[in-house]
Amino acid sequence: MFAKPAGIMRIWLPALLVLLTGAAAYAGPDEQGSSSSAPRKSPDFLFGRPDGSIGIRGNWLFSRASSDWYDFVTDELTLQRGDFNGPEFAFDVGFTVKPRLDIVAGVDVSNASTKSEVRNFVDNNRLPIEQETELRGSTITASVRYAPKASHWGIRHRWGSMC
């Protein structure tokens, strides 16, 4: 009865901690010695160099379904291996440590759900025993992103006619 809220907290509490930690780091004092009211000057960005990034992704998860558990479930229930595939959504937050170095944290959440029946048994009214099979997964990631060249190396502005 109370298992579902605990599962939700197990997924969203780490995501909330990552976001709050990132917000605290973002709100910290500027280490470049400039005043907080004056925007930073940078020749390659209109409003100054960004302090971080936010990313939202959508993926399609293809489960390998190659373990004893998957073999048991596909033998006993009316499920196929492809029924465990499903959408995955991810949220990433990155913070700039140095001009070419970012720290990125992310959370991925996936869910696959399908209705199935028990293959070899029926209920007392000779009707199939129906159920909903659900596979959930979540991943918390942390990474370091390094740009070998400055971020403006591939952008060139051309004004006037092109030759």
Query: Domain for residue 30, yes or no?
Result: no
- The residue type of 123 is D
Per-residue model confidence as pLDDT tens for the chain (163 residues): 334 445 555 666 666 666 666 555 555 554 444 455 555 555 566 777 778 889 999 988 888 888 888 888 888 888 888 888 889 999 999 999 988 889 999 999 998 888 999 888 888 888 998 989 888 889 999 999 888 876 554 545 555 555 4
- Whether the predicted model's global pTM rises above the 0.75 cut: no
Query: Domain for residue 155, yes or no?
Result: no
Query: Domain for residue 141, yes or no?
Result: yes
Amino acid 105: pLDDT: 95
Domain count, the chain: 1
Query: Domain for residue 94, yes or no?
Result: yes
Query: Domain for residue 158, yes or no?
Result: no
Amino acid 21: pLDDT: 63
- The residue type of 159 is W
- The residue type of 151 is S
Q: How many CB atoms lie within 10 A of CB 151?
A: 15
Residues 6+ apart with CB under 8 A from 82: none
Domain around 101: 3-24+49-146
